[in-house]
Amino acid sequence: MKQHIIELLGQAAAKIGADLGHTEIILDRPKSSEHGDFASNLAMQLAKPLRQNPRAIAENLVKNLPDSDFIQKVEIAGAGFINFFLSNIAKTAIVKAIQSKGEQFGRHNVGEGQKVQVEFVSANPTGPLHVGHGRGAAVGDCLCRLLEATGWDVTREFYYNDAGQQIDNLTLSVQLRCKGIGPDNPAWPEDGYRGDYINDVANAYMARLTIDAEDQHIVGKGDPNNTEAIRHFAVAYLRREQDADLKAFQVHFDVYSLESALYTHGKVEETVQDLVTSGHTYEQDDALWLRTTTFGDDKDRVMRKSEGGYTYFVPDVAYHKDKWQRGFKRVINEQGADHHSTITRVRAGLQALDIGIPQDWPEYVLHQMVTVMRGGEEVKISKRAGSYVTLRDLIEEVGCDATRFFLAARKADSQLVFDIDIAKAQTNDNPVYYIQYAHARICSVLNQWDGDINILKDADLTPLNTAHEAALMQRLAEYPEIVKIAAVELTPHTIANYLKDCASDLHSYYNDSKFLVDDEPTKLARLALITATRQVLRNGLGLLGLSAPEKM
């Protein structure tokens, strides 16, 4: 309907001699239904080029609007707003559209099959995933689902930072535990990991039997003095733990990349040499610097430290160069807000390579911290992790659906309070319960009816004329545009907000009306409407990675 009205306005503008040129015809939903279903300010946009009063232009546009069965009436308001009131045929058409498209309703082909890589979570393999990683997993996975729903060819990627000082600290922590030394011992390093999970890793390593590669016989258990063996074992153990958490969270990845591989395959050295060759580096104080100020940074950055070794952003540049060379002309990184300071220097390094990478590549979606509350008080630690709340803690306590919804339902760059009590409540105060209950309510009505749902596709929708029905149909009609906006703006919380509004409209309709009435045409029309609503709720829940239960 929106596109139809835009076309009508375009034809009217042409009739009155208005050259729209680059003028975009904008339609908005009025705040009050008294002002129609759509409103346009086109008359105000044309006032300057036509040198006429906008109200007069509006009157002229309305006079020249082509006839349409979908428009009941058109009114002019205020300084020249044009308000469109849809006919009942137009309002009910959305039900037929949803019935026809089913699971495909709301999907678009904006991406036209182009490749996009989304990197998210990318947690260091030094411990269980915490709630911040969980927010990144929820937001990142929802972004992937949105992009796929709008025609993009999505690759999900996880980048393991399995090199550097943090891995050294992990290795030492596990090694000390293997030797019976715990965090309470004065010998425990200040940067050592103290959670109980370190003991689990150490016990698993010490219980491991090793096999001689030549004659395949058992040569002994884990050696507490074999630092390299402990390093490999600890990283592999914690990677498996993280993978299990993500599987329980309904998140999967297509590609896993390792920081260590960038070194072993020579990609870091190659990138550094490319930067030197490009002429954007210089030596100072026995260190190698990158002239990042050339590309908008506030100061130049050290690449190779005076004591040796590269700073942490250098492998990041090498990693993103590799993404570009793999053919990803669009890359989105979903990361914690603490990565904000690295964006400029990574982009600067990529620009300095002089290989055609755009200035705003890659794109970033940064999420803020999460505060977990229970009983009105902040929950700060997990018994297992020792210093933070783990993703597994939340999944086990409130379930996967509630955890995913709460972590994705607020704009990523806003701080989030995760209230466990609300997430567990089976009341209207719990938004995920409220939405899923709307879906289950519809299923209950259809089960009571026990008819052939296929006959609803041919139902006469003329009886749908109440205010609640009009509001619900208008909400359903908004869904495709909501999906498109959420994908373009990379804001999955937009889908969560829409689902809450849609569920509210359904509950209001349910509480006000009876569906299984004696009048057959009215009954079938109303069942057709709620069946379409069920489909939209199911489609939207799928974009958030949530189930659509039929009973609650």
Instruction: Provide the residue ranges of all domains of the chain, joining segments of one domain with +.
Output: 2-86, 166-248, 370-424, 428-543
406-436 burial, b at 16+ Cβ within 10 Å, e below that, comes to bbbbbebeeebebbbebbeeeeeebbbbbbb
Q: How many CB atoms lie within 10 A of CB 8?
A: 22
**91-145 pLDDT tens trace:** 999 999 999 999 999 999 999 999 999 999 999 999 999 999 999 999 999 999 9
Structure-block tokens of residue 387 = 């210093």
How long, in residues, is the chain?
A: 552
Contacts of 199 (CB under 8 A, 6+ apart): 177, 182
- Residue in this structure with the two tokens 């009816």, named with its chain if needed: 449
3-state secondary structure of 363: strand
Low-confidence ranges of the chain (pLDDT < 50): none
- DSSP labels for 38-104? EEE-HHHHHHHHHTS-HHHHHHHHHHTPPP-TTEEEEEEETTTEEEEEE-HHHHHHHHHHHHHHGGG
Cα–Cα nearest to 378, from 421, 433, 343? 421
H or E element in which residue 218 lies = strand 218-221
* C-alpha dihedral sign at 482, 484, 485, 490: positive
CA distances from 461 to 419, 451, 529 (A): 42, 17, 8
pLDDT given at position 217: 54
Structure-block tokens of residue 373 = 């509350």
pLDDT given at position 215: 55
Strand partners, 123: none
CATH code for the structural domain at 428-543: 1.10.730.10
C-alpha span between 336 and 365 (Å, rounded): 8
C-alpha span between 268 and 280 (Å, rounded): 16
Structure-block tokens of residue 305 = 């430290």
2-86: CATH topology = Gyrase A; domain 2 (3.30.1360)
pLDDT given at position 216: 53
Q: How many CB atoms lie within 10 A of CB 243?
A: 16
C-alpha span between 406 and 94 (Å, rounded): 30
C-alpha span between 376 and 382 (Å, rounded): 17
Contacts of 18 (CB under 8 A, 6+ apart): 46, 49, 50, 57
